[in-house]
Chains A and B, each alone.
Chain A
Amino acid sequence: MNVFSIVWKNFKQWLSVDKPPQSNAAPPRSLYLRHLDCGSCNGCELELNALSNPLYDSVQYGIQFESSPRHADALVMTGPYTRNLDEAARLTLAAMPAPIIITIGDCARDGHIFQDTYAIMERPSEIQSAIQQHIPGCPPTPGQILAALQKFKTE
């Protein structure tokens, strides 16, 4: 058996492995995220950062943070949506390949404790309509965020 045939045999094996498993298990997918701060208190950021420590290690599930919205499958949005960040938030969304937003923390649901101030605004419709998932909590724990993201990834 020459070298070529060994490689070929392995390659065939590799091809067969790549077939999606015929079971109920979710297909292995990844979820690349871009973080968008819309005026948080930075508590939610602490917990998002904790996702990358070895105890949660979100990367092993294919969940990781990207440095450009161009590379991201979804925006992870925190904070109650301040007026001063409105423009930047809309530009970030516009830079996405597909508009998908996951909101993190009670602030990002309805403003939470920061409701009804002159500096917080209602989210424009393009942002509002892109929101597909909300993760509640003040802040949600890394475990809760990770579970919700994994679920989101497989849906």
Chain B
Amino acid sequence: MMTDLHAQIRRIGAQAPIELPRHNPAESHFIIANDDELLAICQWMREQAYYFCTMVVSDERLLEDDSFKIYYTFSSPQSRLIILEYPFNQQHPRSYVSIREIFPAVESLEQEAWDLFGLQPHNQPLIAENGFILHKPFPHNLYPLRRTRRQSRLEDRIAKTAVNPAPAPGTLPEGMMILPVGPIHAGVIEAGHFSFHVAGEIIEDLSIQLGYKHKGIEKLFETKFTLATGWELAEKVSGDASFAHSLAYCRAVEALAGVNAPPSAEIWRTLLLELERVYNHIADVGAMLHDISFDVAASEIAVLRETAVRLNQRLTQHRLLRGINRPGGVILPHRPNLADIRQTLDQITPRFFELSRFVMELSYCRERTIATGVLTLDEARAIGATGLAARASGWRTHDFRLRHPHGFYVSPSIQTIIQETITPDGGNPQRNIPLYTSSLNGDVFSRLILRVAEVETSRQIIFEALDALADSDAAAPTWQPIQQEIQNAPNHEFGLGFTESWRGEIFYWVMKGPNNTIFRCKVRDPSVFNWPALRLAVIRKKVDSRSNHHWENILADFPLINKSFNLSYAGHDL
């Protein structure tokens, strides 16, 4: 298919980049010949509003190409995924050309590549110390994800080495002080370190140090799991998005093997993914109300959340929806009771909307949340923020259920339902809640109301899925073994899997090794892109370049802003 993209890439490339065939007609895979070509193509993509999805470093020095490679993935506005394969040039085997100037979202992944692979960009300042993912206890040049590093030898090296020197503290402007918080926090939360630069109460700047929870998951995929069993690890990457993670993983393996899950499996996947969204959004709304000290409503919402989680338990025998997804479909422990799903949602959602509506109109809720923690649309686009946070900043169509519909989401009725959430007010008289979605401007309030709106969207999608299940043949299989297809796929073939979790899109990039092992599995949780977005939402900044007005947040706003994003530490640190 000769598209604009192909023509353009031909024009930019000095020697017409080689295009490789893909199973999936919606994917295009090009091999990039040199640095200039990569930058030129990226620049063009940026202008065409492409979205940067992920950067995967892969150590292929022992394969025929004999080099490290980077695979960049982009999502085009025309629902295509573009993969640019960029082999390192032989003269600079350890450094690559960075696209950070064009797509700033790549920065965290580049820092990660330095810690885990020892690769540096050559057109950016050198990353001096490791410390983004691997902190002091790890020796300098461990680079654990290189294929030449064996798990057991890594441990020996760590045991033998001394501790790295701590980085020297930077200098502070006059009148400012640093307030360090973490990594262990005063509540039941995950571990991460925040340094607030404050002048009085106002947060001037914030630096976020993560990596504390680094468990070496990507190495573990290579050493302990096969393509058929990797889902077990995928669902433990981030517990609150267990189903979405295992789904993205299974899709990647299915893409690699060139098969699709049976249609009824896709309906179940949609249904359970939306149930995961429902219980998490409800929990977050409750937690935000707790943070504005409205505990009466927060407690009641906590009960609704528990009711949803118990529904998960009844359906799948696991409260966090684990153990269901497999490459090739879903395996349900028993035939679920469809009426139960409908009844439980009918019990939860009206009360939830009633409470949310009540709270949204309370003056002290509005006072705390409106114009607090603003992430502007320009910022969200520039840094490549994702998921609900990006939509709440006004980037309404940034939803992979719309950008790249897959599985049951392609059905037109579901597309309409999702469209309605993002259509400013009054789109659908059937909707149970009045929403001020016309003013999604990136503050805490926008994220709060959008969560409420998305619960309603999910409810409608689930009901749609229930209807489809009722119409379909109950005896139809929801899983088919795909061992043979995996076996037949050529070695070092890769598959891309993604799904729109409640936090944003999750990407899995899985490459097959010999004997159905995993050669490389890159996990990209939405939190990776949204942690920098959180920082931007918190720090003091000008409202726009002309005025002298500033968005400001005080320290006490931070917990609320943090909750409104609710990012995963585990998914970031891997």
Residues of A near any B CB (own CB < 8 A): 35-50, 52-55, 65, 67-68, 79-80, 82-89, 92, 113-114, 116-121, 138-139, 141
What is the distance, in angstroms, from B555's C-beta to the closest C-beta of chain A? 15
Contact (Cβ within 8 A) B239 A44: yes
Contact (Cβ within 8 A) B303 A53: yes
Contact (Cβ within 8 A) A42 B191: no
Chain B 197-234 interface residues, beta-carbon cutoff 8 Å to A:
211-217, 219-220, 223-224, 232-233
Given A37-B184, A45-B239: A82 and B213 interface contact (C-beta under 8 Å):
yes
CA distance A118 to B186 in the complex (A): 28
Contact (Cβ within 8 A) A117 B570: no
**A/B interface sample: 12 pairs, CB < 8 A:** A41-B236, A43-B236, A43-B239, A48-B188, A53-B306, A55-B306, A84-B211, A92-B184, A113-B232, A114-B217, A118-B155, A139-B239
Contact (Cβ within 8 A) A85 B319: no
The residues of B that contact A85 with a CB separation of less than 8 Å are 183, 191, 212-213
CA distance A40 to B158 in the complex (A): 22
* Size range of the chain B interface in the assembly: 35 or more
Contact (Cβ within 8 A) A39 B213: yes
Contact (Cβ within 8 A) B305 A53: yes
Known: A45-B189, A117-B215, A118-B144. 9 other contacts (CB 8 A): A41-B238, A49-B188, A50-B306, A53-B299, A87-B137, A116-B151, A117-B219, A117-B220, A138-B236
What is the distance, in angstroms, from B213's C-beta to the closest C-beta of chain A? 5
The residues of B that contact A68 with a CB separation of less than 8 Å are 186
Given A43-B320, A45-B190, A48-B188: A82 and B183 interface contact (C-beta under 8 Å):
no
Contact (Cβ within 8 A) A43 B188: no
Residues of B near any A CB (own CB < 8 A): 134-138, 142, 144, 151, 154-155, 158, 183-184, 186-191, 211-217, 219-220, 223-224, 232-233, 236-240, 242, 283, 299-300, 302-303, 305-306, 309, 319-320, 322, 568-570
The residues of A that contact B319 with a CB separation of less than 8 Å are 47, 139, 141
Contact (Cβ within 8 A) A84 B570: no
Given A42-B239, A42-B569, A86-B137: A114 and B188 interface contact (C-beta under 8 Å):
no
Contact (Cβ within 8 A) B305 A113: no
CA distance A67 to B142 in the complex (A): 36
Contact (Cβ within 8 A) B135 A84: yes
